[in-house]
Chain A
Amino acid sequence: MHYANTYLDKPVVPDVNINKEGSEIVLKCMLNTGSDIYQGACKKRGSTLKEEYKNVSGTCYMDPRDMEKLGVNNWENVLVKTDWGEVVVNAAASRDAPHEGTVFICKGPWANTVVSSDTYCCSDPTYKGIHCTVEKTDRKVLLMADLMRLVYKKYVDEDDDETIENMPSLGELPVYKKKE
């Protein structure tokens, strides 16, 4: 059947070409989270287990000058740390640049790991304006199901983060036992 296509491999981002080592190992930034059209389309279509969701939601959009400081190119991996947690995400050049010193991660399980749950008594957690650090890493960006397993450990008999991170992936399709 011919469906109109709404799928996409990766969001479209500006080209950057950084071919020298970065001048900094750890970059201090301000973290904002929110949504963009790629994240919205993928999430609400329901494709959250897919590689696509990992790319649209688990991506840290940076100003190209910040990328140069770290020496990262588009779709290389970075580790983002805040007071509330840490997560490995893709790095990509922001379509909304310039915003040097500010990075943006779309909402989703990746951003959740590092945002602040402080509501200051007004119901709404602080999703924007969080101090963070960004650094290059070799660890890989996890698919949604694997990330949920690593962060919340609800249905896994294992406590060690490193072991869970390296367990076989749960894959891109729902896993459940069908009725015989």
Chain B
Amino acid sequence: MTNSIADIHLADVLMITGSNTTEAHPVISLEMKKAVRQYGAKLILVDPREIELAEFATLHLRPRSGTDVALYNAMAHVILENNLANDEFIKTRTENFDAFKEAVKDCTPQWGEDITGIPAEMIVEAAHMYSQARSASIFWAMGITQSSHGVDNVQSLANLALLTGNFGRPGTGLNPLRGQNNVQGACDMGGLPNVITGYQTVIDEAVRTKFENAWGTSVKIPDKPGLTVTELMQGIHDGRVKALYIMGENPMLSDPNINHVAEALSEIEFLVSQDIFLNETGQMAHVVLPGVSFAEKEGTYTNTERRVQLVRPALPIRGDAKLDLDIICDLGKRLTKSNGKTSNDVIHQITDWNYKDASAVWDEIASLTPIVAGMSYQRLNPNGLQWPCPTADHPGTPILHKEKFTRGLGKFTPLVFREPAENPDEEYPFVLNTGRLLQHWHGGTLTRRSEGLDWVVPEGEIQINNEDAQEMNVTDGDLIRVTSRRGVVTGKAKLTSKLPRGMIFMTFHFVEVPANKLTGAAVDPIAKIPEYKVSAVKVERV
């Protein structure tokens, strides 16, 4: 998020797109509802489904799946056509405006209606509402990013914010809602193939040298980005990837197209799973290493507003399990020793894999990472700090891009609308959409072990529009079979008027009804995020 949870209620207009916030980020949805009910903000909701937030929406736009760019290009067209843009902001803080203007020249509201199915008047109204607000903020989640052109989707939203100058003030900005508790941190810490900590790129020689020296490595950090998850799975298939070390993840359930993943993991030469449960991935592993839960460890998580917060141990370690940090340090020692270096080798200048505790690891991170350089455990206690926080006396940054953008000027991106990789057709006439439920979490490893939560929602259901169901003679609880070009899943039907006709909705929390057997292998060419929200399927009564 460019902005903070604490300033959500200060927006005049909120535009929420591709986020069922009530279910996926419940406590943030409270702030959004407060903005509407208590502070009189207007809410533009963009979602094909009639989700709970629709009750709070001033305008509910229900686009055909996968047509986001067309909607936002059309809104930009209206804003420009009616002189509703923030000219001063465009002039002083942005670049590439002319190319962008040219790109949306023909994106009339009618053009938008033809592609998205949203009435042209509603597109016009949304454009007025968003651009006329004193402060307007945009929120999105996986509905925007899990697309074969997720990067375009995000850029089309950024264009709107640039056009109207909605940056750098409370209640504005671009606010992606991060899914899992520490996605932000995993990315910040170099858990990506192209960047080390704080988004320092591996392409940059100075960056590589800095880390090589600090770490005292005997190997060179490669100057090319590595493989993404999806590419790693493909690499196993192709025989290029021979070993995988997986910590705290279950790609068997969370990857698109799990048949493909299961095949890959069964072929791999060496697989290690470090986890607190023996999950589907662990069952295929050669070695399983028992780590500990958040309640037994010390460390930090970084939330969706870039706030680094402390995790504190509350319980003793169970059985012969080990702190995950200790497991990794143990591995580090064994690997470097076998590399021919002893533990008192001067090459390992900083720590030599002997860290006193988690705060010592943090101090090493801070020493190598400008965006968190000013943070220490002492300062993070009790309320955490939001990065960037470059120095020990810096108060942290609740709002990004105040005076200027990180890259200097904000850049408009001219975009051409492209259809999703797989649209419904005669053979597969339905669109499959996937998402989360409030009561369960991701692959279900944690929540499905909570008796209370599993009792409320014990089964994965397949949601289908009432009228579609009636036509097929299906009623609540009937078994239906959903087939895509990649797999088949059978489950109980749940009729609902909240889905548009022609759409099927499933969650990915349940092993018994694994939606990801059906989803596509198409991925965004840049972000490499798979298309989860649009897969063509057919539906039959069993």
Partners in one complex: no
A binding-site residues for B, Cβ under 8 Å? none
B binding-site residues for A, Cβ under 8 Å? none
